[in-house]
Amino acid sequence: MNILVINCGSSSLKFQLIDAKSEQLIAKGLCERIGIDGSQITYTPTQGEKVETVTPMKDHTDAIRLVLGALTDEKCGVVKSLKEIGAVGHRIVHGGENFASSTLITEEVVEAIRQCNDLAPLHNPANLIGIAACRELMPDTPMVAVFDTAFHQTMPQEAYLYGIPYEYYEKYKVRRYGFHGTSHSYVSRQAAKLLGREYEELKLIVCHLGNGASVSAVREGKCVDTSMGLTPLEGLIMGTRSGDLDPAIIEFLCNKEGKSVGEILGELNKKSGVLGLSGGFSSDFRDLEEQFHKDADFAVRTMKAFAYRVAKYIGAYTAALNGVDAICFTAGLGENSGFIREKICAYLGYLGITLDPEANQKRGQDIDITTPQSRTRVLVIPTNEELAIARETYGLVK
């Protein structure tokens, strides 16, 4: 069965068509600038040439119409008709406490997702638009919602409650939710495969280090803690997000700078993290790594602070798990930068980690980068959120 995976943003839409049985990618693409001048669709069939078309898309329904048109196109299409698409898997950012697993989409599910809009005002409404557009164009095709938050719903209360008046949890569900759950779930399962051990017997720490970054602690196949919170702003220092800070800083800066809470929060989301720490140089770790090797002060302080924060979380989660079998690195930076992995692991002598320098330079494969003598394993596992969504979707519709 072919599964169409849709990841809808406010003005963009990413898609992949995946053969669920062989788990092969058939085609993928991206619609950009939806509802804005200069909209463009990029479509890449696995066995063909990339096609880029600038064409108006007034809304997401237009975008999905173009996606379905490309997939069934006589010349560059990969299926003969929409009947060859067995199901659609939608990535949904926030499922609140309503969803602890993926689910078939019904009217009730749409309504329950809408109830979480407050918790992810930029993302959930866009995800819902994607669902509505697909349902309009493919009314008979089953659809599944796969939530970024679901994997973390197994966290115990002591991990998800904040130390604030309990009534805020009761009234507004203010608590830790966590994100990147599809990635944490996929990578931790792959880790068990790579280690040749049962998922349910392992203690794992997964470091998803991309532009957005988070860490999770997974015990016996269940998430017990994660670094992102009510929103994705908490936790690690990220590309442009600050991660953890003293909440009093917000009022302090509002007073000093004469800015509103909204303005400061905008800065904490978009102008902070490694971009902010490097004095505005770059949010891209590749640029910073290059400057680190040239001893540029701004790059040295930024990379050190980034690596230290990750190591601090690994320490905390080792305590939460009462030990750890393997630390897994994934996402853009985690998968590709031997340099940052080495910097982080340099803090972890107490875990008896010895990296294999040659393995640490390899890319694009699931790999153990420690020596046989290492007391704790360190793994690099390329994440594949689309495949994870396709698996979840297939599991529910087959």
Q: Residues with catalytic annotation?
A: 148
CA angle 50, 40, 24 (to 5 degrees): 40
Report how many residues bind ligand AMP under the rule CB under 6 A: 12
| Helix orientation angle between 285-293 and 338-345, rounded to the nearest 10 degrees | 70
SS3 262: helix
Dihedrals phi, psi of 334, to nearest 5 degrees: -60, -35
Whole-Å CA distances, 297 to 180, 280, 292, 345:
32, 13, 8, 22
Other C-beta atoms closer than 10 Å to the C-beta of 171 total: 9
Q: Which is nearer to ligand AMP, 128 or 209 (CB)?
A: 209
Residues 36-65 that bind ligand AMP (CB under 6 A): none
Note whether 286 binds ligand AMP by CB under 6 A: yes
CA 4 to chain centre: 19
Q: Choose among 124, 110, 119: nearest CA to 177.
A: 119
Burial of 61 (0-12, 13-18, 19+ CB in 10 A): middle
Q: Which residue is nearest to ligand AMP (CB)?
A: 332
DSSP string, 94-115: --TTT-SS-EE--HHHHHHHHT
DSSP, residue by residue, 295-339: T-HHHHHHHHHHHHHHHHHHHHHHHHHTS-SEEEEEHHHHHH-HH
Among 284, 342, 356, 366, binds ligand AMP (CB under 6 A): 284
Please give the residues from 153 up to 182 whose contact with ligand AMP meets the rule CB under 6 A: none
- Residue 226, classed as helix, strand or coil, is strand
Least distance between ligand AMP and beta carbon 210 (Å): 2
Q: Closest separation between CB of residue 302 and ligand AMP, Å?
A: 12
One symbol per residue from 331 to 370: x for binding ligand AMP (CB under 6 A), - otherwise; what is it? xxx--xx---------------------------------
Least Å distance between CB 140 and ligand AMP? 35
Q: What minimum distance in Å lies between the beta carbon of 275 and ligand AMP?
A: 10
> Residue 234: which of 247, 219, 218, 217 has the closest Cα?
247
Compute the least distance from the CB of residue 384 to ligand AMP, in Å: 11
Rg (Cα) of the chain, in Å, rounded? 21
> Minimum distance between the CB of residue 344 and ligand AMP, rounded to whole angstroms?
13
Select 9 or 239, whichever has its Cβ closest to ligand AMP: 239
Nearer to ligand AMP, 219 or 309 (CB): 309
Q: Give the footprint of ligand AMP on residues 296-335 (CB under 6 A).
A: 331-333
Name which of 20 and 331 has its Cβ closer to ligand AMP. 331
Task: Give exposure, 125-164, as e/b (b: 16+ Cβ within 10 Å).
Answer: ebbbbbbebbbeebeebebbbbbbbbbbbbbeeebbeeee
> What single-letter DSSP state applies at residue 152?
G
Q: Residues 193-222: x/- map of binding to ligand AMP (CB under 6 A)?
A: -----------------xx-----------
Output 110 or 305, the one with its CB closest to ligand AMP. 305
Q: What burial class does residue 110 get, using C-beta atoms within 10 Å of its C-beta: 0-12 exposed, 13-18 middle, 19+ buried? A: middle
Q: Does 289 bind ligand AMP (CB under 6 A)?
A: yes
Tell me if residue 86 falls in helix, strand or coil: strand
Residue placing its CB nearer to ligand AMP in the complex, 43 or 292: 292
Q: How far is the CB of 125 from ligand AMP (least distance, A)?
A: 22
- Residue selected from 15, 43, 177, 285 as contacting ligand AMP according to rule CB under 6 A: 285
Residue with Cβ nearer ligand AMP (58 or 293): 293
Stretch of 58-66, 280-288, 304-312, 389-397 contacting ligand AMP, by CB under 6 A: 280-288
Shortest separation between residue 89's beta carbon and ligand AMP, angstroms:
20
User: Taking the mean position of all CA atoms in its chain, how far away is CA 65?
Assistant: 26
Which region, judged by CB under 6 A, interacts with ligand AMP, from 174-182, 219-227, 279-287, 292-300? 279-287
Q: Does 384 bind ligand AMP (CB under 6 A)?
A: no
What x/- string results for residues 215 through 254 when contact with ligand AMP is judged by CB under 6 A? ------------------------x---------------
Q: N- to C-terminal Cα distance for the chain? A: 8
Measured from the CB atom, is 193 or 363 closer to ligand AMP? Answer: 363
**Residue ranges in contact with ligand AMP by CB under 6 A:** 210-211, 239, 284-286, 289, 331-333, 336-337
